[in-house]
């Protein structure tokens, strides 16, 4: 992915979302476009207007940590957004050698772990949000209409983000689909910044932009969220309405693998997912 261009897009979106009052500035009259002016952000960040304009135009890379910190303060970014901006800026934060053309595989120990979890639904996702493995309970919960052994064959692996936007059975699982879709896009944005040279990830984003206008609209807003736990509602075809508590466990290596575990209890009617303080970042 073009990281300088993505950085410029991110800065423009965050600048447009702020008002002068948000950052302690006086507002002198009507503005032609919403948000702060470039000059105001540059002043708040302590950089020249020319330099900041070049950042927004995708003409600068390898911004220093001091510049990143200044932009974080000027744009009132969250910690998740700061990490994303740092990833997009390149330099020492950019991960080398992330381009992948070969299919990923789950580690045998991770597969044994989720199998031992028994009745606790668990799904292992790769860095492209593809399903690398799931246990029986995880398969029944999120994709009972698919073959349980599909993740074993790379060419047949389900992709949770693709399914959320393009698979009707998956869409129907979520009575609050837009909330779930927004969270998925925000998570994918983080991955795209972290694994900037991953051609498979770029291909997934390109495919979804072409095939799903809803995805394209959400992606253009440049949402960023690192949701590690929370509650979501499901309308399961066999079980009925559920409140689903989930936890995301990220592998400590550089694989990008994540284990999503779920905790369920049945309710007579579906309820909107409750906000979770562990879901940090903007959408």
The answer, as to whether pTM is greater than 0.85, is no
- Predicted pLDDT of residue 26: 75
Residue 85 and residue 120 in one domain: no
DSSP, collapsed to helix, strand or coil, labels residue 55 as helix
- Predicted pLDDT of residue 32: 75
State yes or no: pLDDT of 278 exceeds 70.
no
The pLDDT tens digits of the residues spanning 43-102 come to 999 999 999 999 999 886 678 889 999 999 999 999 999 999 998 987 544 444 445 556
In a domain, 101, yes or no: no
State yes or no: pLDDT of 38 exceeds 50.
yes
State yes or no: pLDDT of 274 exceeds 70.
no
b/e 90-108 (16+ beta carbons within 10 angstroms → b): beebbeeebebeeebbbee
Range of the structural domain that residue 237 is part of: 108-280
Query: Where does residue 29 rank: exposed (0-12), middle (13-18), buried (19+ CB within 10 A)?
Result: exposed
Q: How far apart are CA 97 and CA 99, in angstroms?
A: 6
Boundary-marking domain end, from 38, 62, 93: 93
What CATH code is carried by the domain that includes residue 75?
Answer: 1.10.260.40
Residue 244 and residue 145 in one domain: yes
- Predicted pLDDT of residue 108: 94
DSSP, collapsed to helix, strand or coil, labels residue 209 as helix
- Predicted pLDDT of residue 209: 95
């Amino acid at each position: 992915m073009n990281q300088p261009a993505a950085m410029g897009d991110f800065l423009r979106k965050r600048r447009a979302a702020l008002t002068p009052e948000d950052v302690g500035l006086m507002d002198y009259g009507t503005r032609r476009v919403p948000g702060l002016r470039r000059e105001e952000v540059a002043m708040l960040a302590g950089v020249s207007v020319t330099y900041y304009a070049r950042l927004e135009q995708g003409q600068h890379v390898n911004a220093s940590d001091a510049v990143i910190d200044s932009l974080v303060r000027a744009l009132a970014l969250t910690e998740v957004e700061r990490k994303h901006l740092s990833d997009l800026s390149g330099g020492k934060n950019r991960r080398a050698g992330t381009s992948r053309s070969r299919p990923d595989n789950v580690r045998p120990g991770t597969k044994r772990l989720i199998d031992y979890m028994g009745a606790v639904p668990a799904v292992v996702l790769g860095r492209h949000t593809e399903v690398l493995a799931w246990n029986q309970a995880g398969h029944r919960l999120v994709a009972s209409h698919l073959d349980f052994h599909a993740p074993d064959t790379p060419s047949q692996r389900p992709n949770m983000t693709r399914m959320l936007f393009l698979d009707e059975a998956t869409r129907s699982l979520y009575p609050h689909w837009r909330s779930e879709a927004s969270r998925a896009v925000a998570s994918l944005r983080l991955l795209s910044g972290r694994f900037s040279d991953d051609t498979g990830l770029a291909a997934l984003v390109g495919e979804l932009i072409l095939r799903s206008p809803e995805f394209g609209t959400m992606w253009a807003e440049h949402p960023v969220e690192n949701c590690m736990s929370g509650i979501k509602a499901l309308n399961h075809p066999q079980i009925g309405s559920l409140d689903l508590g989930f936890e995301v466990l990220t592998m400590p290596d550089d694989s990008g693998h994540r284990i999503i575990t779920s905790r369920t209890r049945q309710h007579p009617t579906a309820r909107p997912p409750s906000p979770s303080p562990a879901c940090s970042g903007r959408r």
